[in-house]
Structures are given as C-alpha cells and as structure tokens.
Structure 1
Amino acid sequence: MYRLSGVVKRYRRGRATIDALAGVDLTIEDGDQLVIKGPTGGGKSTLLQMLGGLDRPTSGTVELDGTDLARLSEAKLTRVRAATVGFVFQNFNLIPTLNAQENVEAALVPLGTRAAERRRRAAEALESVGLAERRAHLPSELSGGQQQRVAIARALVKQPKVLLADEPTGNLDENMRDEIVGLLEKMWREHGLTYVVVTHDTAIARRASRVATIRKGHVKVAEN
C-alpha cells in the first residue's frame, strides 16, 4: 500500500519557486486502479515519479508498504525500483540495438537472474502480450503498438507489485489506444497489481475505479 503524507516537490525556475506538488495526501491500496489526470504542468508526472522512486520530495513522506522511499539510500531505492515497480512510458524507452527478447530480458539483469531463466521469462512475457513471433525483431521493425507491448512485457517480466504507466497511449492512435489500455487492464487483473496511470485522456479516466485530479500541485480523488 502507498501512503503519501504532506508531499511537496519544489523546483527553482530562475528566481521563481514552483511547487509541482503542494502538500499531497494520498492512499493507494494494494490492487487498486488509479488514474491521475489534469492539465499539462499540473504535477501528474511528478507524482508518478514519487510513487516510482524516480524522484524524492522536497518534504513529506512517500511510503510503500511502510517504507519511506524518500529516506532510502540510492542503492536501496534502486533495488526497490528494480524488484517492485514496473514502468511503462509514453515513448516506450526501448534500447534500439536490442531485439524485443533482449529488451525484456534487460529488466531482469539488475535482479541477478541467471541467463537461462531470463530467456525463459522474457519469452513467456512476450507471449503474454501477443508478441511471441516478434521476439527477434528490433524496435525499428515494430509498430508503435508493438513497441508498447514490448515495454509492457518488460515491465511485467520481473513480476512487480506495482505497475506505473505515464501517458502509455500518448503516441498511439485511438484504436491502438483502446487495445493497449485493454491489455494493461488485463494484466492488472490477472497479476493482482497496484496499477497507476497518468493520462490527459478522459476516455481512459472513465474506465478507472478511482481518479485523482491534480491541479497546481493539489490532488482531489473521486470514485467513478
């Protein structure tokens, strides 16, 4: 379970001070599905980065299962990210010189998984997203939707507890958007994940059980 208390994230921009997050209090239960939406620059991605341990708050606490991520050493925080959190990004973030299988396997390297086990799990993950026959293809040889499926397989191959998605359909057309969102929701249900997605798309927000709207660093949560 996530528990955020009084989370502030402050940036300096020239002489101005910007509060990307302005005292956020938020609880996300295990297995929850939460959409974070709001205007550009409102703090959506900053909040997701806090949940994923990609950034630290200026003040406040970000607890995951009772551990304050903000107080962990960088080494321990890296371990949490590697073992517990799966990330899916708008721009896919695949390594262009690695094929689909190798991109998925890369997520298991920081965990010390043996090569044979990496190959087996990566192949199973690609099969689960419908890309078993594309595992030898480079990212440049895949469509945008296929690249995002590889990214989803990479996020899930390490069997995380949390799945965080930052505008995962931002570079896809409407039909592919619905396909990818459906796949993410399928994986959330089948794996019992805590699933948090940032989006500006109201069609995606309507599908979630809970929606956190963030404006000027302030969060309001509503049930759908």
Structure 2
Amino acid sequence: MYELSGVTKLYTRGKSTVTALDGVDLTIAAGDRLVIQGPTGGGKSTLLQMLGALDRPTSGEIVLDGTDLAKLSEARLTRVRSETIGIVFQSFNLIPTLTAQENVETALVPLGVKTKDRRERAAEALASVGLGERLGHLPSEMSGGQQQRVAIARALVKQPKVLLADEPTGNLDESMRDEIMDVLTRMWKELGLTFVMVTHDSAIAKKAPRLATIRKGRISIRENAEA
C-alpha cells in the first residue's frame, strides 16, 4: 500500500529552517491499522498530510500502490485524494449551511456521481454510522459526536482504500471518544480499509496493533500483538 523512503520535510520560518520529518522510512500494508503519536511539533500531522497527498516532501519517496505521490501533478494528486483517500479531521470541517446528507454528498461531486446516486450513497453512508434518521439536520442541530460521524460518513462515501484521521476525538469527551473509536474500528474491519490515525490519547494508542512514535521528525514503530 504505502512505501516511504527517506522522506524529509523542511519548512522555512523567517531566517531559520525547521525539519518536520527527517529521513522517515515506513511501510504500511493494505489493511493495516497504524496509530501515530508524539509530542506537539514532532511531525505527526506533517506525516499524515504526506500520506493524504495534501503536501509534498522536500526529498524522499511516498509510494502509494506503486505510484510515487511526490512526482504527481497537482491534478493527479487531487484525483488520488478524491478516489482513494478519505480524511477525517479534529474540527469536523462540515459546511454549516448544508444538511448531514448534503455534507456527505460533497465528497461525491468531484467524482461526477449523478444526483440520485449521490443521495442514495450519502443516505447509506450516514446509516452505516448510526445517523440514518438525521439526514436533514444541520451541523448546529447535532452534537459533536454526531458531527464527527457525519465527517466519517463523508470520508467513506466515496469508498476509499485509505482512511486517515487527524485527532478525530480531540474535540470530544471520553464517552463520545469511545463511540467514535468504535465506529472507526468497525468501518476499518468491515470495509477492509488501511487506517492511519494521529492522536495524543494514550488510551487509544495502547489498543493499536501498530504504534508509530515521531520525535523531532524521526520515527520508531512498535508492534502490539495483543491489540
């Protein structure tokens, strides 16, 4: 699925250069579930952006299913994101003036899916995350946990191979956190997804089959046979 070789990302801040990723080598097989942890500013979100084709490395290779993302044009990167990768963010990123169903449908518009099919697929996706009766509700009419479920449905409605999640439970209390993790884990299993998640939550990290820790741009991997 993913093969990262010597991935380095440098940012310029004023007169100084910051190394966000420093020669990262990483393999993520199809169907893996990987959790990424580390201190703030250590490179976690930068790595997720690379996996999501949202940013390019300064050097190194990011190969997804045999294609080096770093060498693709912007148009092809957009296509990869639209077809292959679903992303869930901490802040939900829902459009406040659209209903739950309409928010989910937005993921299908770039794929040219017809209106009738978009509506049907969005309704099915919302039902799969337990929101089958909330199709017509606006984000302001839903709890934080429900809004994150909408965001998950939006990420999955296009039937991606990869699901990336950047602190998806960061804005939720403990009970909502557990509910969202149950949804994400169930979707990973049922859909056969490759699932990569960034989190500060040690309770979530302890349950991960694979845990990547990033500190000062360098990565280490630990396998958890009991997860």
The TM-score with structure 1 as length reference comes to: 0.99
CA distance in 1, matches of 2:144, 2:200: 19
CA distance in 1, matches of 2:144, 2:56: 31
Query: Hey, what does 2:25 align to over in structure 1?
Result: 25
Aligned residue identity for 2:144: G
- Cα-to-partner distance string for 1:86-120 (whole Å, 9 max, x where unaligned): 00000000011100000000000000001110000
CA distance in 1, matches of 2:190, 2:133: 22
Number of aligned positions between the proteins: 224
- Cα-to-partner distance string for 1:42-75 (whole Å, 9 max, x where unaligned): 0000000000000000000100001000100000
CA distance in 1, matches of 2:44, 2:95: 25
Secondary structure of the corresponding residue to residue 36 of structure 1: strand
Query: Hey, what does 1:94 align to over in structure 2?
Result: 94
Query: Hey, what does 2:49 align to over in structure 1?
Result: 49
Structure 2's unaligned 5+ residue stretches are: none
- Cα-to-partner distance string for 1:17-37 (whole Å, 9 max, x where unaligned): 100000000000000000000
Secondary structure of the corresponding residue to residue 107 of structure 2: helix
The Cα of 1:122 is off from its aligned counterpart by: 0.3
Aligned residue identity for 1:189: K
The Cα of 1:14 is off from its aligned counterpart by: 1.3
Secondary structure of the corresponding residue to residue 126 of structure 1: helix
Aligned residue identity for 2:11: Y
Query: Hey, what does 1:117 align to over in structure 2?
Result: 117
The TM-score with structure 2 as length reference comes to: 0.98
Secondary structure of the corresponding residue to residue 78 of structure 2: helix
CA distance in 1, matches of 2:103, 2:65: 29
Query: Hey, what does 2:146 align to over in structure 1?
Result: 146
Query: Hey, what does 1:215 align to over in structure 2?
Result: 215
Secondary structure of the corresponding residue to residue 117 of structure 2: helix
Structure 1's unaligned 5+ residue stretches are: none
The Cα of 1:13 is off from its aligned counterpart by: 1.0
CA distance in 1, matches of 2:155, 2:130: 15
CA distance in 2, matches of 1:176, 1:143: 10
The Cα of 1:144 is off from its aligned counterpart by: 0.2
Pairing 1:70-219 to 2, within 5 Å after superposition: 70-219=70-219
RMSD: 0.4
CA distance in 2, matches of 1:199, 1:90: 10
Query: Hey, what does 2:8 align to over in structure 1?
Result: 8
Q: Please identify runs of 4+ aligned residues in structure 1 that moved more than 6 A.
A: none
